[in-house]
Amino acid sequence: MLVACGTKPQTDSLIADEVTMSQFPYKADGFNVEKIQSITPVEEFPGLEVIQTQYVNHGKPITVNAYEMCRTEIQAKDTVVWSLQPSSSNARMDWVLPVQEGFRKENYLGMNNSDYGGGIPVVDLWQRDGGQAIGLFEPVLRMIKMPVEWKRYTDKVTMALRYEYPEPVVMEKGDTLTCFKAFRLSHKGDYYNALQVFSEYMQQNEGVKMQPSEDEAFEPVWCAWGYERTFTINEVIGTLDKVAELGFKWVDVDDGYQIGEGDWNTNSRFPGGDKDMRRMTDEIHKRGMKAKLWWAPLAADPDTKLAKEHPEMLLLTDEWAREYITWWDSWYLSPVNPATDAYTRDLLKMFLQTWDFDGLKIDGQHLNCCLPDHNETSGLEYPEQAPELMYTYFGKVLEEAQKYKKNAVIQVCPCGCAINFFTLQNINQAVASDPTCSRQVRMKRKAYAAMAPQLAYYGDHVELTDSGNDFASQIGTGSVIGTKFTYPKDNPDVKDGPFLLTPEKEALIKKWMHIYKENDLARGEYLNFYTWGYDIPEAHVIRQNNAMYYAFYADQYEGKIELRGLESGKTYTATEYTADEPRQFEVNGDNPVIEANFIRDYLLKVEEN
């Protein structure tokens, strides 16, 4: 088993009204608590231990507020320790963060703000020589905290798993408290390794079933969001010939067609109603492309017909109030309410049959989690089942959608959040989800590749990357490319704007579209040979069609680079395949070190001679 240097073994504690118990058996003042714990190494996953813990009360009654597991202390060897902290809040923080002295983050997986919650039940800390990860092996998302802290004036970074009961639990004499199933993992490398082991274990032992993506999910995307919410039918149709000419295969019709969140019929800008929407999809299909529709489910604006006529669908908090979605100015629909299911089925029939869309761009940070649902019509065993089972809503959407369109592409965009891990098994296209920079596109791609390697990953609109044109960060990491350009030709409604298709941008798209289709890296195998935060420049590797594709990123870099993963005793030809004038040179597998001098990115295709 790999043991990271400077790691203090885990401790557990039971937090009661009167005392915090951290040594067991605990006997004092009439208390008598026994801890029964099994720590089981998993031979199939070196470094992994599965931890199952129970507390048995042999003494006077105890009122338990919380329990803590797997508290781990790591000695920092440098001024920065890198971390995976995939919880979600309105801060929209990176999933991967540098931890420095004075840092603290709670990483609660329940609702942190009105719209934001959920995530991945894993935290990971790594340094140059390896890392430690802890988390839960539970069949659904549990509302735990995963605090990470580096206290000032120390050289110790700590992490733990902490569950706080919604209401205090009284343990009478003879009662047993069973904790969530936890794990601890010692690993080499970075967060990719931790997420890969976590996901593979969950698939083999906890009923998670990741699905391979449809071939269509790997095709490049043009999105009408460049025209934003006030787009017109003519604007979209007037752009389609250019979209098709440039090689895009998907057209995403975005936000703005609907009466309101909840009432998803067409608004006044579609005077012909269903016929106008069908006119758009027909024009898309005529050009050999497919159509995807933007949709923000589980939201109902207060003034919509849905909210007024169907209050039984609305999620109710512990105060019997409606849960509010700040971003949409809407109420939450309960994701597990039978009435919500029936309403959703009717919508999908309209989207995919009446309107003839081929897939869905499902959008909204509120889709990652929700509050416990106290609405009796939802039929839950306990209110927390609503956030725990929220992921099943998307499974029903996928299944129903593919009744109408066998190859329907279902994308869920959690708007900057670390996605609810359990949702991954119910979609066939992930997305960079409103990245604020190119680094986020690459960082998220690596996370998704670890958890669901056969899942297509869409790099989102290239306009969201550095300088609005960084196709290299999409293609070099094996992402599906996309854009939201606007186009004025024969379209008098569009004369200018920030996303205008200029001759320069058109030439750029043509170049990278050719590279994308010729090399097909989005379907390739991601290989984790480099450690995030420590290997400079940042590096990613994709294996595809008997070649290794290396992608290096830095603001500016000059120096040596090791091409890891090549075999000794063999020689290779490296091609700068994205350069305007591609250069070739030979690489020796016995010493695969090259000299590089680049700004922003350097991409290589390496083939065995």
DSSP letter string, 276-331: HHHHHHHHHHHTT-EEEEEE--SEE-TTSHHHHH-GGGB-B-TTSPBPEETTTTEE
Contacts of 387 (CB under 8 A, 6+ apart): 110, 111, 117, 118, 141, 143, 369, 370, 371, 372
Q: Say how far apart CA 80 and CA 86 lie, in whole Å.
A: 18
At 495, the pLDDT band (50, 70, 90 cuts) reads low
pLDDT at 211: 85
* Amino acid 497: pLDDT: 75
The tokens for 168 are: 């205090």
Question: Do the beta carbons of residue 551 and residue 571 sit within 8 Å?
Answer: no
> Is pLDDT of 358 > 70?
yes
Residue 4 has pLDDT above 60, yes or no: no
| Model pLDDT, residue 1 | 32
Is the pLDDT at 2 greater than 50? The verdict is: no
At position 360, the amino acid (one-letter code) is L
Q: Which residues pair with residue 585 across a beta bridge?
A: 574
CA angle 480, 486, 489 (to 5 degrees): 125
Output the pLDDT for position 17. Answer: 85
Q: Indicate whether 472 pLDDT > 50.
A: yes
Confidence of residue 444 (pLDDT cuts 50, 70, 90): very high
Q: What band does 18 get if pLDDT is binned at 50, 70 and 90?
A: confident
Could you tell me the two tokens for 304? 């919509």
Collapsing DSSP to helix, strand or coil, 157 comes out as strand
User: Where does residue 260 rank: exposed (0-12), middle (13-18), buried (19+ CB within 10 A)?
Assistant: buried
Residue 295 has pLDDT above 70, yes or no: yes
- 39-80 tens-digit pLDDT: 999 999 999 999 999 999 999 999 999 999 999 999 999 999
User: What share of the chain in percent tops pLDDT 90?
Assistant: 95
DSSP secondary structure, 528-577, as one string: --S-TTTSSSEEEEEEETTEEEEEEEEEEEEEEEE-TTPPTT-EEEEE-T
Give the per-residue pLDDT at 3.
38
Q: What percent of the chain has pLDDT over 70?
A: 97
Is the CB of residue 91 less than 8 Å from the CB of residue 25?
Answer: no
Whether 411 shows a pLDDT value over 90: the answer reads yes
Four-residue CA torsion sign, 198, 200, 205, 207: positive
Query: DSSP for 216-256?
Result: GGGS-EEEGGGGGGG--HHHHHHHHHHHHHTT--EEEE-TT
Contacts of 252 (CB under 8 A, 6+ apart): 221, 222, 223, 224, 225, 291, 292, 293, 294, 361
Position 378 scores a pLDDT of: 96
pLDDT of residue 125: 98
Q: Count of CB atoms within 10 A of residue 467's CB? A: 9
Q: Mean per-residue pLDDT for 265-286? A: 97
Q: Are 547 and 565 in contact (CB under 8 A)?
A: no
The rounded radius of gyration (Å) of the Cα atoms in the chain is 26
Query: If DSSP codes are grouped into helix, strand and coil, which group holds residue 437?
Result: coil
The C-alpha atoms of residue 432 and residue 448 are separated, in whole angstroms, by: 10
- Look at the chain and count its residues: 609
Dump pLDDT digits (tens) for 121-138. 999 999 999 999 999 999
Strand-pairing partners, residue 105, are: 148
Cα 46 to Cα 6: distance, rounded to the nearest angstrom: 19
Tokens encoding 129: 């020589």
**What is the number of alpha carbons within 13 Å of residue 332 lying toward its C-beta?**
33
Query: Do residues 331 and 299 touch, judged by C-beta distance below 8 A?
Result: yes
Mean pLDDT of 85-96: 96
**Averaged confidence pLDDT in the chain:** 95
- CB of 426 within 8 A of CB of 297? no
What's the rounded mean pLDDT across residues 335-349?
Answer: 97
pLDDT(468) > 90: yes
Q: Is the pLDDT confidence value at 11 over 90?
A: no
pLDDT of residue 7: 58
Alpha-carbon separation of residue 41 from 23, 38, 100, 186, 220 (angstroms): 23, 10, 31, 11, 43
> What is the H or E stretch that residue 105 is in?
strand 104-105
